[in-house]
């Protein structure tokens, strides 16, 4: 049975998953890029973009684990690109170039319809306009028994949390303060929602925490 998993989602010590004022120049908001410094040097991250080398160890273990047994992805429109409102054209095809690192079907939540976009390496972006339950149903079918990975951004994860749909959350807590931005757990009672911490592993660059449903 497919599970829905959040993997390698980076937040600051004060709970922000993105900085303020997201834009094309600052897709993760001002200061948000530093949240992911634990991942950039890892072998898993480097291989995603066709590079050799990279670090191994705990950070790489968690990065690699995030791709294990994943049969489909769901992401919010902000994670796909900076375009807001109606699609002005078909030119924007994501942040990742011609060969995105997903290699599966990816279901992008949006209010504006668009034809699917097929990329090199096995990634096809589908644009879902009828909500998270429809996206999850389609992604579960596409995953064919494997798990569905839920990407960002913060608003998308919060929407799935509110609906009680996430089975596992891996957070990489970066040792920085952002002060403002998009708060992941603001006004959520994670204990009441049924989550418990089952792993916590510190490294020099992050503390890896895994939450699962207590039941």
What average pLDDT does range 43-72 have in this prediction?
A: 94
pLDDT of residue 78: 85
- Number of domains, the chain: 1
How many other C-beta atoms can be found within 10 angstroms of the C-beta atom of residue 21? 13
Q: Torsion angle of alpha carbons 87, 79, 34, 154, nearest 10°?
A: 120
Residue 22 has pLDDT above 80, yes or no: no
Q: Omega of the bond prior to 93 within 30 degrees of 0, cis?
A: no
In a domain, 185, yes or no: yes
Domain coverage including residue 193: 4-8+27-80+99-206
Rounded Cα–Cα distance for residues 6 and 164 (Å): 13
Residue 21 has pLDDT above 90, yes or no: no
- The region of weakest confidence among 35-49, 74-88, 128-142 is 74-88
How many other C-beta atoms can be found within 10 angstroms of the C-beta atom of residue 180? 14
Dump pLDDT digits (tens) for 116-130: 999 999 999 999 999
Dump pLDDT digits (tens) for 73-118: 999 998 888 777 888 888 888 888 889 999 999 999 999 999 999 9
What average pLDDT does range 51-63 have in this prediction?
A: 95
Residues 56, 43: contact at Cβ < 8 Å?
A: yes
- The region of weakest confidence among 26-40, 105-119, 181-195 is 26-40
Residue 167 is part of a domain; what is its CATH number?
A: 3.40.430.10
pLDDT of residue 214: 72
In a domain, 90, yes or no: no
In a domain, 176, yes or no: yes
Rounded Cα–Cα distance for residues 166 and 37 (Å): 25
pLDDT band at 215 (very low <50, low <70, confident <90, very high): low
């Amino acid at each position: 049975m497919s599970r829905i998993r959040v993997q390698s989602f980076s937040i600051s010590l004060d709970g922000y998953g993105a900085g303020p004022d997201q834009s094309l120049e600052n897709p993760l908001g001002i200061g948000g890029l530093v949240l992911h410094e634990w991942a950039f040097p890892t072998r898993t991250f480097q291989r995603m973009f066709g590079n050799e080398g990279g670090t191994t160890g705990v950070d790489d273990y968690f990065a690699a684990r995030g791709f294990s047994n994943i049969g489909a992805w769901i992401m919010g429109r902000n994670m796909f690109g900076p375009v807001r409102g109606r699609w002005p054209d078909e030119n924007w095809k994501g942040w990742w170039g011609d060969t995105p690192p997903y290699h599966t079907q990816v279901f992008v939540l949006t209010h504006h319809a668009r034809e699917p976009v097929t990329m090199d390496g096995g990634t096809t972006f589908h644009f879902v306009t009828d909500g998270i339950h429809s996206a999850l149903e389609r992604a579960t079918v596409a995953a064919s028994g494997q798990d569905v990975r839920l990407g960002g951004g913060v608003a998308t994860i919060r929407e799935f949390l509110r609906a009680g749909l996430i089975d596992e959350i891996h957070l990489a807590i970066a040792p920085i303060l952002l002060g403002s931005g998009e708060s992941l757990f603001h006004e959520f009672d994670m204990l009441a929602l049924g989550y418990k911490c089952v792993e916590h592993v510190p490294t020099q660059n992050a503390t890896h925490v895994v939450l699962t449903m207590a039941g």
